[in-house]
């Protein structure tokens, strides 16, 4: 996708916190959950917020790399899910997977294969990956690049129309 055909969706810390708490509200009906698995790195912040709001004390992470700056590449599992969490899920305990975003669904598919019965939740979802998640808060178009708070710095932004101020 070229830079000119991309839309940007900058998300502030306040907005991301509100959206993550909204996710917790939606998930409260699906619980209670025995454990939460955050997909690192983007899922760490919303997983922490959701775990706090839902009183989930067991928090695990899985590290899956699929992005290199602004392009999607091959999927690589850098850190798998702890065997104790996988066993708990196999024993019928409810496990929650949390990520910031589902884009094409490639990362979600890999993690779902690790925990097939888990409830998968994301803060944001794009159309190509939306079917991979059970719960999300906001859908954005496929051609939108979400700039999360940890990606941003204060700087001038040109008007959408390309004109000047």
- 100, 111, 97, 109: which is closest to 140 by C-alpha? 100
pTM, two decimals, is 0.85
- Decide if 157 is inside a domain: no
Dihedral sign (CA 71, 82, 116, 98): negative
Number of domains in the chain: 1
- Decide if 67 is inside a domain: yes
- Decide if 69 is inside a domain: yes
CATH number of 122's domain: 3.40.50.2020
- Decide if 52 is inside a domain: yes
Tell me which residues are annotated as active site. 99-100, 103
Dihedral sign (CA 66, 64, 17, 88): positive
- Decide if 74 is inside a domain: yes
In terms of residue numbers, what domain contains 36? 8-151
- 148, 120, 147: which is closest to 136 by C-alpha? 120
Model pLDDT for residues 62-85, shown as the tens digit of each residue: 999 876 555 556 788 999 999 999
Model pLDDT for residues 28-56, shown as the tens digit of each residue: 999 899 999 999 999 999 999 999 999 99
The CA distance from 52 to 75, in Å, is 29
């Amino acid at each position: 996708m070229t830079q000119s055909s991309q839309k940007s969706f900058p998300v502030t810390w306040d907005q991301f916190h509100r959206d993550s708490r909204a996710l917790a509200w939606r998930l409260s009906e699906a619980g209670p959950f025995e454990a939460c698995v955050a997909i690192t790195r983007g899922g760490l912040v919303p997983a922490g917020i959701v775990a706090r709001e839902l009183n989930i004390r067991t928090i695990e992470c899985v590290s899956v790399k699929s992005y290199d700056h602004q392009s999607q590449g091959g999927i690589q599992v850098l850190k798998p899910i702890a065997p104790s969490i996988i066993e708990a899920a196999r024993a019928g305990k409810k496990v929650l997977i949390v990520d910031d975003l589902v884009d094409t669904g490639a990362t979600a598919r890999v993690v779902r294969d690790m925990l097939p019965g888990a409830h998968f939740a994301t803060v944001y979802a794009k159309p190509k990956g939306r079917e991979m998640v059970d719960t999300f808060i906001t859908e954005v178009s496929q051609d939108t690049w979400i700039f999360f708070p940890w990606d941003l710095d204060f700087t001038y932004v040109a008007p959408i129309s390309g004109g000047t101020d």
